[in-house]
Amino acid sequence: MAVEASSTTPRTARKSTATKSARRPREAAAALIDPERRRALIAEAAYFRAERRGFEPGHEAEDWLAAELEVDTALTVGIPSKKSPAMQ
C-alpha cells in the first residue's frame, strides 16, 4: 500500500504552515483598511455571533477570533497571494 507524502509530514510542520497561511489574510487586510474600521467590523461580526448564540457567556474570545478571521478573509477575497502564478 502506498503512503501519501502528506500523511508522513510531521504534525508540527503542517501546523506551522497552517498558521502562516492564517496570518496572511490579517496582514493583507491591515494594508487595505484603517485599523479602527477593521476593529469595528470585527466587533460587529463578533456581536452578531454572540447574538445568534443567545449571548451565552464564556465564548467572547472564540467569537472575536472567528469574527476576525471572517472579516480578514472577506477583505482579502480576490487578492492574489504572493505565490500565485500570475504574480511570478
pTM of this prediction? 0.60
Q: What is the mean pLDDT of residues 49-75?
A: 95
Q: What is the mean pLDDT of residues 61-87?
A: 80
pLDDT at 16: 45
pLDDT at 29: 74
Given a cut of 70, is residue 37 above it in pLDDT? yes
Domain positions in the chain: 25-76
Looking at every residue in the chain, the average pLDDT score rounds to: 76
What is the rounded distance in angstroms from the CA atom of residue 37 to the CA atom of residue 20? 24
- Reduce the DSSP state of residue 6 to 3 states and report it: helix
N- to C-terminal Cα separation, the chain = 37
19-23, 30-34, 35-39, 68-72: the lowest-pLDDT one = 19-23
Tell me the pLDDT tens digit for each residue of 1-33. 444 444 444 444 444 444 455 566 777 777 788
